[in-house]
Amino acid sequence: MVALFVVSVQVASGKTTVATGLGRQLLGEGKKVGFLRPTVGGKPSASLTGDAVFVKQALGLAEDVKLINPSLDGGKTLADRAREAYIEVSQNKDVVIVEGYCGPTPEDGDSKNAYEIARALKARVIIVENYAGGQSAPQYMDSYLGFGDNLLGFILNKVPKQALKRTCEELTSRFTGSEMRILGVLPEERALVSFTVGELAEQINGEMLNNAEKSVALVENVMAGAMCVDSGLDYFGRKNNKAVVVRNDRPDMQMAALETSMRCLVISGGGEPIDYVRFKADEKGVPIITTRNDADTVIRHIEDLLDGTRFHQEKKLTRLAEILKSNLDFQAIHKGLGLST
């Protein structure tokens, strides 16, 4: 049995995405996989518990969420509490994936806690970090090297596709033969940070008027069209799989949007759509969501939803597997964990 510790300095770096993808890959190879997301310093937040619930479902785990997402506060040392939590979820497992944070410097409290957990579990550590413009090196190298011999390698996530090849070549060239192994450079993928039509309706306090069965469709782009000066068809045709937000007094823009590929039409400012907009939406199978909020407020709510979007849709797992297979060095990970393939 071996522990794999997936950590990051950053919030929303993709740790849960990577942990889930690795777990699914190992399950597909016949390995028995467990998961642990401990919290140090307080009770687990609702978002962290939600992530744990999703990973439990995605990996088919039998353990209770409270065991998967425990608080490590208590009277014993952090190392002892971490070992106890690990034992609870590691029975009959080949690999337990542990998720956590480290700080931006080795002296940071989060870093010291992460180092102690890694040592206590004798875990191999994978770092996940988001791409920053022009990045050719990990941003918090000193913090990562604090894991010492436990460090397995580094994954750079959410790299724009146009920069993917250059970034991969630069990182590989710079760190070949060094103590920081580059395990993967993962492209930015809109489909992995999308949300559903139903989640959008809930976020903006909207009412879905039709095509309720489309509430599970994934929204990857958002466009606002009330002040558009271009031809409506040209403008709305620039993006697919989108939600379009249009004021209630612009049925012309609503109709233009409905002539293009879209997930849903959001009508701001309250009121019902006029008959021919409703007829066109029904004909196209496009849900209409109405809300009393004005367009600016709707966009702000959607931005909040995007900031909080986590990897919680089952539909994303297939695409995730494809991305990891093409861009992650599974051979190095297997070797680092001492696993046969």
**What single string gives the DSSP state of each residue in 219-234?**
E-EEEE-TT--S-HHH
Report which of 109, 148, 107, 111 is spatially closest to residue 9, judged by C-alpha positions: 111
pLDDT along the chain (341 residues), means of 10: 93 82 93 93 62 83 90 85 93 94 93 95 95 80 94 91 89 84 86 76 87 82 64 73 88 90 91 91 93 85 65 67 89 89 60
Phi, psi (deg, nearest 5) at residue 275: -55, -45
pLDDT of residue 226: 47
- Parallel, antiparallel or unpaired: strands 182-187 and 195-196: unpaired
pLDDT of residue 86: 94
Report which of 240, 262, 265 is spatially closest to residue 254, judged by C-alpha positions: 265
Q: What's the CA angle centered on 307, arms 304 and 312, to 5 degrees?
A: 110
d(CA 310, CA 308): 6
Give the list of residues 6+ apart from residue 311 with CB closer than 8 angstroms, or none. 14, 16, 17, 20, 51, 54, 192, 320
pLDDT of residue 148: 94
pLDDT of residue 228: 47
Residue 99 tokens, joined: 């998720």
pLDDT of residue 145: 93
Report which of 310, 328, 309 is spatially closest to residue 24, judged by C-alpha positions: 328
CB 328 within 8 A of CB 183: yes
pLDDT of residue 229: 45
Q: How far is CA 116 from CA 68, 85, 106, 188, 288, in A?
A: 19, 14, 12, 32, 52
- Helix, strand, coil fractions of the chain, as percent rounded to 5: 45, 20, 35
d(CA 38, CA 6): 12
Instruction: Please report the domains of the chain, with CATH numbers, ordered by start residue.
Output: 2-189+311-337 (3.40.50.300), 195-308 (3.40.1390.20)
Report which of 163, 144, 146, 162 is spatially closest to residue 154, judged by C-alpha positions: 144
